[in-house]
Structure 1
């Protein structure tokens, strides 16, 4: 992936954000008009359509608004070295979200905002109710399979979102510096969830204003980690995989919960404020290991044209 551009393509980035919002937001109108909200049978289909909007916006911008020679390479669908280059990052993307989610639960438990039953799985058994011949341990195994295996199904819609937000936008904002690119992408990505947040998505127990603030904090922290995967691997696939498994890892909160203690996303898990501590520490570890900012190949112009140098911009 090249970082040869020394300024932000304002027309391209503004067009991308506008298209991502204008395509996605109207899709949620039926959820408001019918009064069924996220309980509607159409809600999963609508959310799937929303997650395709950033991918569509990214392709439109790269194809017609700010044309590039290779859309697939620019968006990170293909990359130099291919799978051999990014398979290690794919493994991190597969298992990393669950590790972070589990650590977030431990932090919440230590801070007293999460009541856990680490080995009895009583909260999980209470939620699914007694079933003849099915033990809490079997329910727990089924939940783990959903997190680590069926989570791959989440990667499909997540790819649509990541192709736009990390595949296009984060990279387009790199002339501002990687911290700014992660920050702006995270804020815009969080606000893009706006109609769903109003309907109670992610933070059903929180007032709307609080939900927006919390989604903004989560979006910025997560954007830094997904952005690292995108830039370090030179591919959008690890970011898409991580996004999918971040969604599936939310099930760990219920898995280890104690009976009689509903999981509150405001305080618990990666979405909650106690989980942000874990996300921030993960970013700090990457920085201490000198993995952030990511070293990017950059083409120099003029007399040194064609000479490759590394930049941490």
Structure 2
């Protein structure tokens, strides 16, 4: 019990004020605008060869261009945190390091590792139940058709089941190789931008970051990246919707752990899990990202349900423990910005 009435009032205010920023009360406009400019311009310039060659995403060096693009948000975050809006601890401010180190967030590794592939399978199941995704869950005929394996004439080839097992093992194993490129994006979008926009509240931060993240893909979306079967305007809208939904889940990992690493791991395995749409597909039916998998609208149902579950469990918005100064010093305030 507090004998001092002022201390009691301070304690009540600490718990009631759930919208106050833990680090700042206003968005650092200069830092955010600088981040967006630095993240966008080099990325978009990198795509020029895709246009100038006339080959687009089929250009031989296109995978290299896409890989380098992924590191531009990290460059922007580091530049802003180090020089434009300097932080006393720039690496900590963008989540590359955190108080307590890996001990604080290692339990989330399992969620980040297994969550995206399992979510992808659920998305495919939803698409299958709705009649959108034509699946061959046990015969893997679509995978056989894609890779030209199976039994051709009298020559024994890798069986469809073994090929599927190899592909699934690669998702859960070699997916770790996707984490470093994914870290390039996550340091920017979740590491810096979500944190910088928290004065808008967590919903506002996730929404704004998702829109900017989606638009950042603009030059390659125009070339048919992810959504080649729909009009360009629709592709932009779909990419933003996807980025808002998946960005909310990645943002939850970032804020709940204080580190960007779990979000980077989840992002890496999200990319790795994209191949599962082919693994379970049925031969003779093309897979359309606009309607199938987590990129498609049927997958958004799964992403939205996951967000709802986090909200019902009280995990989202994320609660912060803040130590106050002055009369309320030492009191933990739980903020749901």
Q: TM-score range by the shorter chain?
A: over 0.9
For residue 333 of structure 2, give the secondary structure of its aligned residue in structure 1. strand
Q: 1:258 aligns with which of 241, 265, 282?
A: 282
- The offset of 1:299, in angstroms, is 4.3
> How far, CA to CA, are the matches of 1:79 and 1:180 in structure 2?
24
1:78: which partner in 2?
97
2:17: which partner in 1?
none
2:313 aligned with 1:289: yes
2:257: which partner in 1?
233
2:228: which partner in 1?
204
Aligned partners of 1:4 and 1:300 also within 8 Å: no
1:27: which partner in 2?
46
Q: Greater CA deviation, 80-89 or 208-217?
A: 80-89
- 1:14-57, CA deviations, whole angstroms, 9 ceiling, x for partnerless residues? 11011100111100000000011111121111111111110000
1:122: which partner in 2?
141
Q: CA, structure 1 residues 305+23, in 2 after alignment: closer, same or farther (shift >3 Å)?
A: farther
For residue 321 of structure 2, give the secondary structure of its aligned residue in structure 1. strand
- The offset of 1:303, in angstroms, is 3.5
1:139: which partner in 2?
163
Q: 2:218 aligns with which of 189, 194, 207?
A: 194
Find runs of 4+ consecutive structure 1 residues off by over 2 angstroms. Answer: 130-133, 297-308
When Rg is computed on C-alpha atoms for both structures, the one with the higher figure is 2
1:46: which partner in 2?
65
**TM, length-normalised to structure 1:** 0.97
**TM, length-normalised to structure 2:** 0.90
- The offset of 1:3, in angstroms, is 2.4
For residue 124 of structure 1, give the secondary structure of its aligned residue in structure 2. helix
CA RMSD of aligned residues (A): 1.2
> How far, CA to CA, are the matches of 1:79 and 1:99 in structure 2?
28
Q: 2:196 aligns with which of 172, 186, 192?
A: 172
1:98: which partner in 2?
117
Unaligned stretches of 5+ residues in structure 1: none
> How far, CA to CA, are the matches of 1:267 and 1:22 in structure 2?
31
Unaligned stretches of 5+ residues in structure 2: 1-20, 151-155
1:87: which partner in 2?
106
> How far, CA to CA, are the matches of 1:225 and 1:167 in structure 2?
14
1:213: which partner in 2?
237
Aligned partners of 1:4 and 1:298 also within 8 Å: no
State the aligned residue count.
312
2:295 aligned with 1:271: yes
1:7: which partner in 2?
26
For residue 106 of structure 2, give the secondary structure of its aligned residue in structure 1. helix
- The offset of 1:146, in angstroms, is 1.8
